[in-house]
Amino acid sequence: MLNQIKKISVTMMFLMAAANTYAAEGQELDFDMETGRGGEAKRVENPAEFRVCADMDNLPYSNNKQEGFENKIAELIAKDLGKQLKYQFAYDRIGFLRNTLNANRCDVIIGTVSGNDAVLTSKPYYRSGYVFVYRKDSGYDIKDWDSPDLRKGKIGVVGQTPPSRPIYDKGLMENARPYRIMRDLNLPPSFMIDDLAKGDIDIAIVWGPIGGYYAKTKYTGQLVVVPAPEYEKENIHGKEYWNISVGVRKKDKERLAMIEEVLQRRSADIEKILDEYGIPYVPVVPGDSVEKKRETRGDVIPKSE
C-alpha cells in the first residue's frame, strides 16, 4: 500500500511540474474531449448517413424495429436530405447522451425539450402536454384540476413530474399512486396505462404522447384522453406543456440548420405522423424553453412513464 501511495504521489508531482512548465512558457494544456478514452475507437462520420440516437424499446417514440413516431420522423428527414438512415440504440435513461451523442456514435436526437442545455436544439416542431386518461365505462367527467371526479379514484402519476404539483396543491395526494421516473425495463413502456385498463388505478395523468398513443392503439375505444390544463401560472413547477425539438451536439450548427429546413418544409407531413400515432399536440409557443425557465430544472418530461 505504501508503495502504491508513493507511485501516485510521484505521478501527481510529474503532472504538476508539466503543467507549471506549460504555464511558464505561456501555453495552456489542451485536451480534446472528442477523442474519447485512451484506446477507444472513434467513429469516422459518413456524410451519406443520417445517424440517429434512439431508445431500442420505448414506444410510441422508437424501438429497434423502427415502429415509433420518432422513427418515422427520422425516416422522413433522412429521405428528404437524401441520406441513409442509421441508428445507435441505447436505453434512454441516465448516461444516454454520454454513450450516444456525446460519444460520437450518432448525431441526432429526434425528440427533446426545446432549449435543453445539454444539446443544441432546433426550432420546436411540435408542442405537447400532460393528459388525464380514464376508462370510458367509469362514468368520470374530468376536465381540469378541480373536477370532483379526481377525488373519486386512485390517481397514477410519475413522482416529481409536473402533474405532482397541482395534485399536491389540490389536496389529492391521498388519492395518488406514485410511479417511478426511471421505468423498470422488465415492464413495457405502457405499464401505467396497462394498470389503468386492469383497474389497478382509476385515472392516469401522463405525458400526452404516451397516453394518446396507447389509448388509440392498445386500448382502442376503451379509454378517454383529456388534455390537462396548464398550471404554470398557479405554480411554476406545475408547467404542463412543452415545446419539442430535434437535438444535436452544440458544435453542429450546420447540421442543425439543415434539419430545421426539413422540419419547416415537411411540417404538414410531421403532423400527419403525430395524428396517425394519436400524439396530442397544440400550437408551438415561441420562446418557451427550458433555458428561459431555469427554476423548473427539477421537472422533467419523461419518455419512460
Give 143-206 as a DSSP string.
-STT-GGGGTSPEEEETTSTTHHHHHHTT-GGGEEEE-SS--TTS-TTHHHHHHHHTS-SEEEE
In terms of Cα–Cα distance, which of 65, 128, 96, 131 is closest to 247? Answer: 96
Judged on CB neighbours under 10 Å (0-12, 13-18, 19+), 137 is: exposed
Q: Which residues of 221-233 are buried (b: 16+ CB within 10 A; e: fewer)?
A: eebbbbbbbbbbe
> β-pairing, 126-135 with 203-207?
antiparallel
Superfamily classification of domain 129-238? Periplasmic binding protein-like II (3.40.190.10)
Quick one: pLDDT at residue 297?
A: 44
In terms of Cα–Cα distance, which of 236, 302, 222 is closest to 58? Answer: 302
Q: How many H helices and E strands in the chain?
A: 8, 12
In terms of Cα–Cα distance, which of 135, 153, 132, 151 is closest to 143? Answer: 132
Which DSSP state fits 279? -
- Tens digits of pLDDT across the chain (305 residues): 445 544 444 444 444 444 444 444 555 444 444 445 555 667 788 889 999 999 999 999 999 999 999 999 999 999 999 999 999 999 998 899 999 999 999 999 999 999 999 999 999 999 999 999 999 999 999 999 999 999 999 999 999 899 999 999 999 999 999 998 888 899 999 999 999 999 999 999 999 999 999 999 999 999 999 999 999 999 988 999 999 999 999 999 999 999 999 999 999 999 999 999 999 999 999 988 765 554 444 445 666 55
For residues 58 and 303, what is the distance between their CA atoms, to the nearest angstrom? Answer: 8
> β-pairing, 49-54 with 84-89?
parallel
Q: CATH 3.40.190.10 occupies which residues in the chain?
A: 49-126+242-296, 129-238
What residues pair up with 157 in beta bridges, in sequence order? 178, 205
Query: What's the whole-number average pLDDT of the chain?
Result: 87
For residues 91 and 202, what is the distance between their CA atoms, to the nearest angstrom? Answer: 29
CATH of range 49-126+242-296; options 3.20.20.140, 3.40.190.10, 3.90.1150.10, 3.50.50.60: 3.40.190.10
Quick one: pLDDT at residue 77?
A: 98
